[in-house]
A and B are shown apart, each in its own frame.
Chain A
Amino acid sequence: MVAVSQDWPVAELDPVRRMRVVAASTPGVGYAEKLIPAPFDAVWDTASDLERELPRLLTDVRSFEITSARGERMTARARGWLGQRARFDVVLRPGWCVMQSRFLIGGMAAAPEGDGTRFAFLGGLRLPGLRLIDPLLRPPAGALALRPIRRLEDRLRVR
Chain B
Amino acid sequence: MTGPPPIDPALVRAAQRGDRIAVADLMDALTPYVGRVCGPIALQDGPDAAQEALIAILKNLGGLREPGAIYGWARAIAVREAVRVARQAARAVPAELADVPAPGDPQLAADVRDVLARLTPEHRAVLVLRDLEGMDEQAAGALLNVPAATVRSRLFRARRSFRKAWSP
- Is B20 a contact of A22 with CB atoms below 8 Å? yes
> CB-CB < 8 A to A84: which residues of B?
none
Take A2-B131, A7-B109, A9-B116 as given contacts and tell me if A25 and B39 are in contact as well, using a CB distance cutoff of 8 Å: no
- A8 and B21 within 8 A (CB): no
- Dominant SS among interface residues on chain B: helix
Residue total for B at the interface (Cβ-Cβ under 8 A) = 41
Report how many residues on chain A are interfacial, defined by Cβ distance under 8 Å: 27
A158 on the interface (CB 8 Å rule)?
no
Contact of A8 among B19, B34, B40 (CB under 8 A): B40
Contact assessment for B55 and A8 in the assembled complex, using a CB-CB cutoff below 8 Å:
no
User: Is B131 a contact of A5 with CB atoms below 8 Å?
Assistant: yes
Contacts of B21 in A (CB 8 A): 89, 91, 98-100
Q: How far is the CA of A25 from the CA of B31 in the complex (A)?
A: 15
The residues of B with any CB-CB pair to A shorter than 8 Å are: 1, 18-21, 23-25, 27-28, 31-32, 34-36, 38-40, 42-43, 46-47, 49-51, 54-55, 58-59, 108-109, 111-113, 116, 127-128, 131-132, 159, 162
What are 7 A-B pairs with beta-carbon distances under 8 A?
A2-B162, A5-B132, A8-B39, A10-B32, A11-B38, A98-B21, A99-B21
